[in-house]
Structure 1
Amino acid sequence: MAWAVLGTAGGKAPDLPPARALSDVLTEVDPTTLNMGSRDLLAALSDTVTSAMGWQPPHAEDVVLAHPAVRAALTPIADVVADNPRSGWWTAPLDRDTQIYTRFEPTTVVGRPRGTAAERLRRWRDGIADQERAAAQYRASHPSTPLGGMWWVTPALAGLDKTTRALPDAGSAALWLTEDEMGWESADLVPCTVDPHALVLEIDGPDAWASLVASYPLDVTSSRAPDWWGAVDAHEGDWLIPDWSAVAADFAGVHVSVLAWLMTSGEAVSPRPRATTTLAGWDPDATWWLTDGVHHADTGHLWVRQDQNWVRAS
């Protein structure tokens, strides 16, 4: 289970002096002396998630961490993290009994989504088609001008529910593990009830993600390629994401475990020959619900950020 800490950004690292120096330091660490509590692990995982950038090339430190010598030196530490009982939920499937809807900056007025989930997904699918046409036209007339802005694989902006599990004494997974987080200072955590019989697809790694995209492919080459060419180590063929309107015909939701996120985020995944997908914009442990089967409690609990930690305020 050394995957847990060794998930790094795509790209190949040269023989870098900083990588050699870091690997030398890491080999001097005795992993058995590391005392990692739940908050320590969560804070480290949070740093990893919030530094993920699916829209640009990896930072210099990511390239160093991807170096084979550094990865080899990290393996004993990763083994200790993976064996820590406090990280056991990183491999767990959806916990139907503890789902939380995390609404950041709850003072913001949010209108109710229009229509059923199926109707919202049809509008989402039509919007993707419009984006592809507009991006293709723009690239045809401006071939040397960068075009970006579309980098996520989720049905974001479709008005669907996204939930994560509750974490004892830490609120919810979403409080800590949100990609491209905006520095929010407060959040309302609302318990949710989900259908115990709802069919949820579990994504536990790159193969499961590849299978999902292969089964429900949606070509987004024109709109996503300008961002993903820099962020993911693949530069030929088509770029695909799941067609969530089609997925919804078979599954009520899709859950990505922390393990799956660590193994798949930012990596080039091939769902078919000459086609690439990746996992970008999907938070660890998040379930996106594609149907109307999630029921929110009438009230939630306010959490606020204090000195880089989240604490319950009410």
Structure 2
Amino acid sequence: MAPFVQLHYLLIATDPVHIGTGGYRLGRVDNSIVREPGTRLPKIPGSSLHGAIRAYAARIYENPAAAGQDHSNADPDNCPVCYTFGYIKKPAPGQSPSEAGGFSGVVSIFDAQVLLFPVHSMAGPVWVTTVPLLKAAKCAIGGDVGEPPAGSAHMTLSRTSPLNLGWLMVDVATANLSITAPEGWSKAEWDAVAGRIVVVSTSMFAQIVNSNLEVRTSVSIDPTTGAAASGALFTFEALPRGTFLTMDVAVDDYRTPADRQAAFARAAQGQSKDPAKPLPGKAWQGPTDVMEAGLHALAWLGVGGMGTRGFGRLSQVGDGIKEAYGGVQ
């Protein structure tokens, strides 16, 4: 058995998603979203995903203290959520933090990167991507095609005339291109867009994405007048609904079998911390099950800002693709 395993997930934004930077960016919107520094492509940070997934898993297990900063009240040695994501015990009087004990988590959740980005065109909505992104996601590309020339695009549409991607017009380099997702991801969501994929050059992709982000305007209401408060208008951007993203999770279960057995004694039987409430869905046999339970909750409760105002939901497409160290498992 491999000492560690990596899982590759495909996600789709079922709402606009806003993961803010906590600051301002001149020229476009007041509240901007997180971007990769080198490419300027939006992403969902692993820290945001990790926090939301852990919090939802703790709620599912009926142990909300397992999501907090101090896990002393969570019975961490016997909690599958603490085992999966790590925990720190509060030092007793006279104890140092190192004496109190704690363990690092056994799962690492990495940034979710844009794979297919929805853009309007005269042919209807299309999903824009690049050859390197498709190859990194292990998608099969039919024919021996590389990056399209500047100002043109490969596409799965049956089209010969130029196509607009938002405000940008591109020529057709290759039509009827075949792009196939890995077997575990080829579900209804992927099949719905597979015939509407446009592959552009890497140099154009960031420009297309940043020009077609969703931008919303909000205002604070003055409770006295019921009208907009003076000077309270602000704008913010978000990844649009329909964006496909890839996310990797590494599982390194370094703990002892005895530690694992103690942590999963109840969850492996389908039981939460509350004896009156069984776990919804399947029993948790290990840390991957805990992480996936929290991941599935993103489809209901979302991640990021303005979740009570129609933002944030992400759904998993298909199954996670499991890759053991040294080869596919």
Question: Under a length normalisation based on structure 2, what TM-score does the superposition of the two structures give?
Answer: 0.23
Structure with the higher helix share, 1 or 2: 1
Question: Under a length normalisation based on structure 1, what TM-score does the superposition of the two structures give?
Answer: 0.24
Structure with the higher strand share, 1 or 2: 2
